Amino acid sequence: MTDTTSISDNVMAVRDRISRAAMAAGRQSDEIRLVAVGKTQPPEVLVAAVEAGVCDLGENRVSELAAKMDQLARAPAMANAKWHFIGRLQTRKARALVGRGVLVHSVDRRGLVDALQRRALAAECVQQMLIQVNVGDDPAKGGCDVQEVDALVAYACDLPNLQVTGLMTMPPLPPDGTDQAAAARPWFARLREIRDRLVADWPQVSELSMGMSADLSAAVAEGATMVRVGTAVFGPRQSGPWLGSDPSERL
Ligand SMILES: *Cc1c(COP(=O)(O)O)cnc(C)c1O
């Protein structure tokens, strides 16, 4: 069981890292949203993060996200919490996400864009999303190729029930023993350059979701507007996804 006092200490420590990196870069720390990534953690520790002032929660599995949203729907602390989906998204799971006000960070192909548009039209809503870019061309990571991003953004921005609000990336993991933040920084700079180019034609494509526990300072230095932080907030991950206290309610 995670100790909730340590979660509020962790949130403060992460905020401190964000504000120091922001200050060093001449940025305001309130330009950067902390998305606390609670994958594998039980709902009560997510509530502890929200009670410690976190407004944004991230998950990487649709079933886990849905189970936690349902479980916490009536928790008073959660009334203003915003949910983010940051994992690989299978087209057939788009339905379970659309219409819940979730920001999807991981849209990386036309088939998925089409599925989200179809579902959003049916749900009579506008689905907000980021386009994930595989800046390091890493076969282990999701994201569209750097060469495809302009066309994918143009395609998605044309659809009536979608709103593309920015870009997301996960840089390649450097070899063991390398400084992860230093290695990631050029990849974060790459995403920012892509955003700076796109924003001239699509001003709404402004957000940069980049940076995790190990490299968030480098991401903030390169312009991140959202950092996705798991272990530095919640401690080590649990052994597997949290799928609900009531198995009959699982997706
Ligand atoms: C798990 C995860 C994170 C957070 O990773 P930490 O290293 O625990 O901070 C960020 N982004 C994505 C896409 C993730 O899956």
Neighbours of 45 (CB within 10 A): 21
State residue 246's pLDDT score. 64
Residues near 27 by beta carbon (within 8 Å), at least 6 away in sequence: 220, 223
State residue 242's pLDDT score. 93
CA–CA gap between residue 18 and residue 251 (Å, rounded) = 36
Is residue 100 predicted with pLDDT exceeding 80? yes
Q: What is the mean predicted confidence (pLDDT) over 107-126? A: 98
Per-residue tokens: 89: 């998204």
Is residue 235 predicted with pLDDT exceeding 70? yes
Neighbours of 192 (CB within 10 A): 18
* Cβ(46) – ligand 1 distance below 6 Å: no
Model-level pTM? 0.96
In angstroms, what CA-CA distances link 199 with 53, 128, 193, 212, 216? 31, 16, 10, 24, 23
For residue range 27-66, list pLDDT tens digits in order: 999 999 999 999 999 999 999 999 999 999 999 999 999 9
For residue 93, the CA-to-ligand 1 centroid distance in Å is 20
Placement of tokens 């049916």 in the chain? 122
pLDDT band at 250 (very low <50, low <70, confident <90, very high): very low
State residue 5's pLDDT score. 78
Of 223, 165, 217, whose CA–CA distance to 189 is shortest?
223
- Ligand 1 atom at shortest distance from the alpha carbon of 237: 8
* Cβ(86) – ligand 1 distance below 6 Å: yes
Q: What is the mean predicted confidence (pLDDT) over 103-127? A: 98
For residue 59, the CA-to-ligand 1 centroid distance in Å is 9
In angstroms, what CA-CA distances link 48 with 6, 157, 233? 10, 36, 10
- Ligand 1 atom at shortest distance from the alpha carbon of 213: 9
For residue range 122-147, list pLDDT tens digits in order: 999 999 999 999 999 999 999 999 99
State residue 43's pLDDT score. 95
pLDDT band at 4 (very low <50, low <70, confident <90, very high): confident
- Ligand 1 atom at shortest distance from the alpha carbon of 212: 9
Is residue 1 predicted with pLDDT exceeding 80? no
Helix (H, G, I), strand (E, B) or coil at 164: strand
CA–CA gap between residue 135 and residue 139 (Å, rounded) = 11
For residue 199, the CA-to-ligand 1 centroid distance in Å is 26
Q: What is the mean predicted confidence (pLDDT) over 159-177? A: 96
Closest CA to ligand 1's atom 12: 86
State residue 251's pLDDT score. 45
For residue 38, the CA-to-ligand 1 centroid distance in Å is 9
Placement of tokens 């200490």 in the chain? 9
- Ligand 1 atom at shortest distance from the alpha carbon of 231: 8
Is residue 2 predicted with pLDDT exceeding 90? no
Are the beta carbons of 35 and 228 closer than 8 angstroms? yes
For residue 183, the number of C-alpha atoms closer than 13 Å in the C-beta half-sphere is: 13
* Cβ(229) – ligand 1 distance below 6 Å: yes
- Ligand 1 atom at shortest distance from the alpha carbon of 232: 9
